[in-house]
Amino acid sequence: MFLQRFFSSFGENIAMDLGTANTLLYTKSAGIAVNEPSVVAMDVHKGTVLAVGRAAKDFLGRTPQRIRAIRPMKDGVIADFEVTREMIAFFVRKIIKGFRIIKPSMAICIPTGITQVEKRAVIESGMDAGAREVLLIEEPMAAAIGANLPVLEPQGNLVLDIGGGTSEVAVITLSAIAHYESVRVAGDVMDRAVQRYVRDVFRLEIGDNTAENVKKLIGCAIPMPDAPVIEVSGKDISLGTPKVIRLTEGHVREALKEPIQTIIDAIFRALEKTPPELAGDIYRNGMLIAGGGALIRGLDRRIAEVTKLNVVVDAEPLTTVLRGTARAMEDKERFGGVFIN
Ligand SMILES: Nc1ncnc2c1ncn2[C@@H]1O[C@H](COP(=O)(O)OP(=O)(O)O)[C@@H](O)[C@H]1O
Ligand SMILES: [Mg+2]
C-alpha cells in the first residue's frame, strides 16, 4: 500500500490553471490539490516572500509600508516574472514533496492574450518548479473542454470566461480558437465599480476585499427581490471615521451595470466577426459561461435576453478551466492539438 503510493507519485502529471485571481492545481491521485488566490506577499526591503495564496490575500489592503501583497497575473499579463515564478514554485512544492526521479509533465492554462515572452516565462517557471515538459493551453479552450463541448469537431462553440482580470470570449472549432475578444473588465473591475458606487452614493470608502464580498453576496445583473440587505463597513470620506451602511441588490446591480455592459459588447464584437457557418452552429448550440464572474446572479439571463442565445453557466464555473486542462493533459492522444506550443 505504502509502496504503491510511493511509486504512483513518481511520474504523476500536473494540470495548473494560472488565473489572474486564483491558481488551481490538479493531479490524478489528489484531484484538485491546490485552489488559492494568485497573490504573493513580499517584504520589499529584504526582497523575500512572506506568504503565498490564501495567507497572502489577507494581507491585501492591510500591509504596513515594507510589505507588499502582489497579484503577479493581475491584468491577464504577467506583471512580475520573478514573483510569478516564486508563486508557481510554491504551489508545485505543495504537491510534489521531496525529490522525484521521474519528473512530471505539466499542462498550464494561461490567458489568451499573453505575449511570446510571457509564455516563455511561464514555461521556464514550470521547468524550474521541476517539470520535465510544460504544455500551454489557452483559457477559453480549457473552459470548453472542461464543459465537454465538442472542441475537436468542425463545429462552432462559443465560450465566455469571466475571471478576475480579464473576460475572454472565444469561438472554438477544430481544436483551435477561430476568433477571440479579450477585455480587461472582469471581477476586479466589478469590485472597483462597487467601491466607486459606495463612495459616490454613501460617501464611504471600502476596501478591496469588502467590495469583493459584497459582489459575491448580492451581485446581480437582473432584479433579485429575494436578495438580502447587507451591512458594509468602511471609512467616512469627509470625517475619516469608521461607518456602517446598508446595501441592497439594487445598489450593487446599478454599480455593476457598466462592467457587465462592457462584457456584453465584447460578446457582440466576437459574434460580428464569426463566419456564418460557425454563427449558425452557435445559434443552435448556444453559449457557455465559465470563470468566477459567471456566478453573478442573473448574468446568464441578462446575456440570453440581449443576444437571443441559449446561455448555460457551467455547474462549477470556478473549476471549469482546471478540469479542461486536466482532461487535455490526461488524454494527449485526443487533445494534443489544443496545446499551443
Ligand atoms: N459568487 C460569486 N459571485 C460573483 N463573483 C464571484 C463569485 N465567486 C467568485 N467571484 C469572482 O470571480 C473572480 C475569480 O474568478 P476566477 O475564474 O477564479 O478568475 P481567474 O481565472 O482570473 O483567476 C473574482 O473576481 C471573484 O470575485
Ligand atoms: Mg480563469
**Per-residue pLDDT reduced to its tens digit, 163-210:** 999 999 999 999 999 999 999 999 999 999 999 999 999 999 999 999
The protein residue with its alpha carbon nearest to ligand 1, atom 19, reads 163
pLDDT over 90 (residue 75): no
Burial profile 288-323: b = 16 or more Cβ within 10 angstroms, e = fewer: bbbbbbbbbbbbbebbbeebebebbbbeebbbbbbb
**What's the topology of domain 2-141+321-338?**
Nucleotidyltransferase; domain 5 (3.30.420)
102 burial (CB, 10 Å; 0-12 / 13-18 / 19+) is exposed
CA distances from 249 to 225, 256, 296 (A): 8, 10, 11
How far away, in angstroms, is 164 Cα from ligand 1 center?
A: 6
Please check whether the two domains, 2-141+321-338 and 151-313, share a CATH topology.
yes
Choice from 110, 212, 217 to test ligand 1 binding pocket (greatest atom count within 8 A of CB) = 212
To which CATH superfamily is domain 151-313 assigned? Answer: ATPase, nucleotide binding domain (3.30.420.40)
With 0-12 CB in 10 A as exposed, 13-18 as middle and 19+ as buried, what is 91?
Answer: buried
Let me know the angle formed at the C-alpha of 213 by 244 and 290, rounded to the nearest 5 degrees. Answer: 155
Distance 28 CA to ligand 2 centre (A): 20
Which residues face 290 on adjacent strands?
161
Q: Regarding beta strands 67-70 and 105-110, do their DSSP bridges make them parallel or antiparallel, or are they unpaired? A: unpaired
- For the chain, domain boundaries: 2-141+321-338, 151-313
| CA 25 to chain CA centroid, nearest Å | 13
Mean pLDDT across 310-325: 98
Residue 5 has pLDDT above 70, yes or no: no
Phi and psi at residue 162, to the nearest 5°: -110, 105
- Closest-CA residue to 257 (of 203, 219, 304, 210): 219
Ligand 1: which of 215, 220, 314 to mutate, most ligand atoms within 8 Å of CB?
A: 215
Pairing of the two strands 204-205 and 230-236: antiparallel
Q: What is the pLDDT of residues 119-172, one digit of tens each?
A: 999 999 999 999 999 999 999 999 999 999 999 999 999 999 999 999 999 999
CA distance 300 to 303: 5
Pocket around ligand 1: residues whose beta carbon is below 6 Å from it? 19-22, 163-165, 187-188, 212, 215-216, 219, 291-293, 295-296, 318
**Ligand 1: nearest atom to the Cα of 215:** 4
Look at ligand 1, atom 8, and give the residue with the nearest C-alpha.
Answer: 292
| Choice from 17, 20, 36, 137 to test ligand 1 binding pocket (greatest atom count within 8 A of CB) | 20
In our burial notation (b when 16+ CB lie closer than 10 A, e otherwise), range 151-166 reads bbeebbbbbbbbbbbb
Q: Do residues 53 and 37 make contact, with C-beta atoms less than 8 angstroms apart? A: yes
* Residues in contact with 190: Cβ distance below 8 Å, sequence separation at least 6, in sequence order: 215, 219, 255, 256, 259, 260, 293, 296
Query: For residue 231, how far is its CA from the centre of ligand 2 (angstroms)?
Result: 30
- Distance (Å, whole) CA 131 – CA 144: 25
Residue 74 CA to ligand 2 center (angstroms) comes to 11
Please check the confidence at residue 112 and state whether its pLDDT lies above 70. yes
Q: Which ligand is nearest to the CA of 215?
A: 1
pLDDT tens digits for range 29-69: 999 999 999 999 999 889 899 999 999 988 777 777 788 88
Q: Give the nearest ligand 1 atom to 188 CA.
A: 25
Taking the CA of 186 as reference, the closest ligand is: 1
**Most distant CA pair in the chain, distance:** 66
User: What is the grid cell recorded at 111?
Assistant: 490567458
pLDDT tens profile 209-261: 999 999 999 999 999 999 999 999 999 999 999 999 999 999 999 999 999 99
Return the ligand 1 atom nearest residue 212 CA. Answer: 27
H/E stretch holding 279: helix 276-285
